[in-house]
Structure 1
Amino acid sequence: MVASTALLPPHLSATDVMRFQDQVTATGEETAQAVEPFTGALLPPVPQSSAADVALAATRGRIAQADWAARPLSERTRWALRFGELLVSERDKLVDLVQWETGKSRIHAGIEALGVATVAAHYGAESAGYLRERTVRSGVPGVVKARVSRHPKGLVGVIAPWNYPLFLAVGDVIPALVAGNAVLSKADSQAPLTLLAARELAVKAGLPADVWQVVAGPGSRLGQPIIDAVDHLAFTGSTATGRRLAAAAGERLISTSLELGGKNPMIVRADADLDAAVTGAVQACFASAGQMCIGIERIYVHESLYLEFVEKLATATSRITMGASYDHDVELGSLTSAEQLAVTTDHVADALAQGASAVAGGRARPDLGPFFFEPTVLTGVRPSMKVFAEETFGPVVALYPVVDDEDAITRANDTEYGLSASVWGRDLVAAQQVAARIQAGAVNINDGYLSAISSLSAPMGGMKSSGVGRRHAADGILRFTESQTTTTQRVSTPYPSRTKIYLAATRVVVLAQLKAARRKARKDIS
């Protein structure tokens, strides 16, 4: 086993790391080590799981799930709230881990850690309402009573990416567990320790250990065994990988929820508060070094504001402080891997070679660390350039002038993606009309991205190639359940012997239902 060469962050101990390593279901001797983004040093080795380990974890999870699902929902929601409290109390340790494995600045890692605690609070408070049995109108009111109840899927697979190893990974686990499922998570190879630390806290909060199983290893090895073992797959990652997983899940006819790629647009209308829009753009384009699925990569600015916006955004971007720090003295951290640095460098170099201009940034910063890249603002980007349509997933944004709202909407929608968007303008009615025409699962008015993702009572997900299904709100927990309709007939109604009479009576009932429905529709519309 190769030893770690990375220095421990301030709030972590070697004993902590050994406990986290023990959270993996792995019976062999194989280990793997990621690279610390700040320094390039080797992070601690993590045991690697085999396909047989996935099957073993799934068996353990299914056995434990029966007892977990049989417990009162109130017990599972109390667990979620205790878990959320532990996530807050252990925040410094978790933030250290997120920074150690992803290279984020402390402010961005801290927001992530607190964000997943709010997910625990939300489902701890709201799940009883989301999951309660409902009485619905039957086909024959007064004679037939119809009820709809929710039952857990059974074993839920969660595969989440390295860029938000707490919010995206654990944020999906919480509602799945509260709904009564067992969970089989795959720890991402770049950021496994963060997920393993969260799993330890979940058990400390009272979760039976076998109910949440974690395996570790490359997706090429574990993806298919996980799909073969689970009843639902929640995946967050690239569109290309999502398509392959969805196809494999389709062979088994299991359900999926997929949050995939994005090339998210921002529209700055002619009446926008320019300074506020610039501040919002800095936050939305460069948070977590641009490695955020809902971050902004394209900005369409009304031509009357364009030159001033370019100047102000370039100035604000050039003032962003960068560095490798476990304190709050820098605003922007590192890219997470050599792969992300390579894509970012390639996209910017390709754009500059074809005539685009970098009005801010544009360079890698090896003097700060192996994977640092300056926050970059590009102008003069054309369709032939990679950065125009491909997802960069780095601290890079392209600016474009537009003549009016119609032009902005058309260009914003000119993409295969539809995850998130942003619209800025003082006339809120007009801004809302623009937002309604954007093909995206979430549109933030006078904000870059945070207001939608933090509104946990509203669903979050993508249109078009940006995904299927939603996280958060009722959608975020109901996806992990099966609905069951139970009807109770109060009066015995034998099969009609006189079909003509039966059909005539049914016609009268149906016409009455249509008349009542028409009245209700007119009332709802008015």
Structure 2
Amino acid sequence: MSLPPHLTPADLDRYAAQVFATGSETARSTAPFTGEPLPPVPQSSAADVALAATRARSAQVAWAARSVAERAAIALAFGELLVAERDKLVDLVQWETGKSRIHAGIEALGVASVAAHYGAESAGYLAPVSVRSGVPGVVRARVTRHPKGLVGVIAPWNYPLFLAVGDVIPALVAGNTVLSKADSQAPLTLLAARELAVRAGVPADVWQVVAGPGSALGQAIIDQVDHLAFTGSTATGRRLAAAAGERLISTSLELGGKNPMIVRQDANLEAAVTGAVQACFASAGQMCIGIERIYVHESRYPEFVERLVAQTRALTMGASYEHDVELGTLTSAEQLAATVGHVEDAVAQGATVAVGGVARPDLGPFFFEPTVLTGVLPTMKVFTEETFGPVVAVYPVVDDEDAVTRANDSEYGLSASVWSKDLGAAQELAQRIQAGAVNINDGYLSAISSLSAPMGGMKTSGVGRRHAADGILRFTESQTTTSQRVATPYPSRTKRHRGAYLATTRLVMLAQLKAAKLKVSRTARKDT
């Protein structure tokens, strides 16, 4: 077994030893670049999940007792280690997922940015807030935040750092302990990050990691945790949400996407095509916020397709731990089969492959050329189903109305993209698109990198948000505390006292209505 350039056998032994597993069973995944087996990783049982959860719960009280500032400082130290050790982390991401160096590097730096964000902003997000009470001046109302307790994190193989560790960071800073399930395809990346977190100051019992297939461990994790953060397919998300509902525990779910891109008549085509190539084919298209549908104004459609084909054909592919290729490979035989199936089904029904459309076994077992399809019809699988591969379909549209109608014609609503020189018109169009994030003159990077803004899906693309205040408050319970200077003046039995009570109540209600009208009036003046 050949190792990536910055990894040693000792590194791999340390990473694997962090799995909470009491048995001797191990499992191997496959290196996408070569098809060779990856190192064995211990496998956890449902009983191991329960034991790991017990340890984490025992550690949670002391962890939550630390100040937010102390936990945030550990997050910052973790981010610094992620940057310092990025070569090893990027090696692992490539080894386990088959990404190109540039895309793996972006992922590593992205999770370091998440650590920096919550290290800097968590004190503000979690600070107690005084709010207007029902009887201002007499009653004071205050909202505080408390950790849920034990948070379960289940994340997929396609972004084993950004999606998995990016959820762990705010959960820990909020005062929770975490039980992570390492994905079976990419467990070592998560385990390497966990080792760095412990070096940064996270107590070992505070972040527990189990490993094994979701079919064996998913229910066991739900049975133990107080909140589940899941990223993955919509079908799996539905099942996990139903199981969580039986226990009445909260969930945050980022699920599937079939993300649209709209190219208006006035768009800069050179920029739009360059953005499309990035948004469609980064990480070999294995990205929940990647673009799989492009709607181009009919007057620009021929030129757009011509330019897109030329740029797509020019992309370099290969299995390399250097920055000499632009695209890596699909991660597994299953993803290759799904991608091939979508393309073959489309071609069989009359679609045209403008570029790509073939596997490249000469480069590695799971390589597939970036592919542009035209003439795609509603009966084709690629029309509605998420491909999760380097395949995009391009459609002509007659106007903005046609474009937004077709963009919204999907069960998904995760991300979208609009290209136009008229930013005002693009903003108006964006507000009509049913998606959790809309990127104007960008494919997806501007929204996902704006960590002060929430990120998540509408419709069947998920529930809840990561990043910003939403991304950490989901791991907390809010508590309202009220205090008042005098006892509540409940009405007595006498007619005189009842009348005074009702009159006082009426005056308070009228005052509240007057204050509300003034606030609405001020807001209206600001809007105009």
In 2: Cα distance, 1:329 partner to 1:512 partner: 69
SS in 1 for 2:451: coil
C-alpha RMSD of the superposition? 0.6
Offset, 1:500: 4.0
Q: Any idea what the Cα deviations from partners look like across 1:459-485, whole Å, max 9, x if unmatched? A: 000000000000000000000000000
SS in 2 for 1:297: strand
Please name the residue that 2:46 is paired with: 51
Q: From 437, 441, 444, give the equivalent of 2:439.
A: 444
SS in 2 for 1:149: strand
Tell me the TM-score normalised to structure 1 length. Answer: 0.98
Please name the residue that 1:315 is paired with: 310
Residue 8 in structure 1 maps to residue 7 in structure 2: no
In 1: Cα distance, 2:33 partner to 2:506 partner: 73
Residue 139 in structure 1 maps to residue 138 in structure 2: no
Residue 186 in structure 1 maps to residue 185 in structure 2: no
In 2: Cα distance, 1:380 partner to 1:268 partner: 17
Q: Which runs of 5+ in 2 are unaligned?
A: none
Offset, 1:166: 0.1
What letter is aligned with 1:296? I
What letter is aligned with 1:509? V
Q: Any idea what the Cα deviations from partners look like across 1:399-453, whole Å, max 9, x if unmatched? A: 0000000000000000000000000000000000000000000000000000000
Q: Any idea what the Cα deviations from partners look like across 1:39-95, whole Å, max 9, x if unmatched? A: 000000000000000000000000011100001111101100000000000000000
In 2: Cα distance, 1:503 partner to 1:391 partner: 60
In 2: Cα distance, 1:385 partner to 1:353 partner: 9
In 2: Cα distance, 1:432 partner to 1:140 partner: 41
Please name the residue that 1:63 is paired with: 58
In 1: Cα distance, 2:44 partner to 2:524 partner: 56
SS in 1 for 2:396: strand
Q: From 79, 83, 103, give the equivalent of 1:84.
A: 79
In 2: Cα distance, 1:374 partner to 1:155 partner: 43
In 1: Cα distance, 2:2 partner to 2:455 partner: 37
SS in 1 for 2:153: strand
Q: Identity over aligned residues, as a percent? A: 81
**Is the contact between residue 163 and residue 231 of structure 2 (CA under 8 Å) also seen in structure 1?**
yes
Please name the residue that 2:427 is paired with: 432
Offset, 1:512: 1.8
Q: From 272, 275, 282, give the equivalent of 2:267.
A: 272
User: Which runs of structure 2 are paired with 1:415-426 in the superposition (5 Å)?
Assistant: 415-426=410-421
User: Which runs of structure 2 are paired with 1:271-420 in the superposition (5 Å)?
Assistant: 271-420=266-415
What letter is aligned with 1:278? V
Please name the residue that 1:3 is paired with: none
Please name the residue that 1:242 is paired with: 237
SS in 2 for 1:484: strand
SS in 1 for 2:223: helix
In 2: Cα distance, 1:492 partner to 1:444 partner: 53
What letter is aligned with 2:64? A
In 2: Cα distance, 1:370 partner to 1:493 partner: 74
Q: From 39, 58, 64, give the equivalent of 2:34.
A: 39
Decide which moves more: 454-463 or 352-361. Answer: 352-361
Please name the residue that 1:512 is paired with: 511
In 2: Cα distance, 1:143 partner to 1:514 partner: 18
In 2: Cα distance, 1:507 partner to 1:144 partner: 17
Offset, 1:493: 2.6
In 2: Cα distance, 1:237 partner to 1:507 partner: 53
Q: Any idea what the Cα deviations from partners look like across 1:102-151, whole Å, max 9, x if unmatched? A: 00000000000000000000000000000000111111111111110000
SS in 1 for 2:330: coil
In 2: Cα distance, 1:493 partner to 1:368 partner: 77
Q: Any idea what the Cα deviations from partners look like across 1:185-233, whole Å, max 9, x if unmatched? A: 0000000000000000000001100000000000011000100000000
SS in 1 for 2:293: strand
Offset, 1:333: 0.1
Residue 150 in structure 1 maps to residue 125 in structure 2: no
Q: Which runs of 5+ in 1 are unaligned?
A: 1-5
Please name the residue that 2:457 is paired with: 462
**Is the contact between residue 490 and residue 501 of structure 2 (CA under 8 Å) also seen in structure 1?**
no
In 1: Cα distance, 2:24 partner to 2:162 partner: 30
Offset, 1:504: 2.8
In 1: Cα distance, 2:99 partner to 2:141 partner: 51
User: Which runs of structure 2 are paired with 1:65-214 in the superposition (5 Å)?
Assistant: 65-214=60-209
SS in 2 for 1:229: coil
In 1: Cα distance, 2:228 partner to 2:43 partner: 21
Residue 27 in structure 1 maps to residue 27 in structure 2: no
What letter is aligned with 2:26? T
Q: From 251, 257, 263, give the equivalent of 2:252.
A: 257
What letter is aligned with 1:279? T
Tell me the TM-score normalised to structure 2 length. Answer: 0.98
In 1: Cα distance, 2:123 partner to 2:69 partner: 8
What letter is aligned with 1:76? R
**Is the contact between residue 489 and residue 501 of structure 2 (CA under 8 Å) also seen in structure 1?**
no
In 2: Cα distance, 1:152 partner to 1:301 partner: 47
Please name the residue that 2:226 is paired with: 231
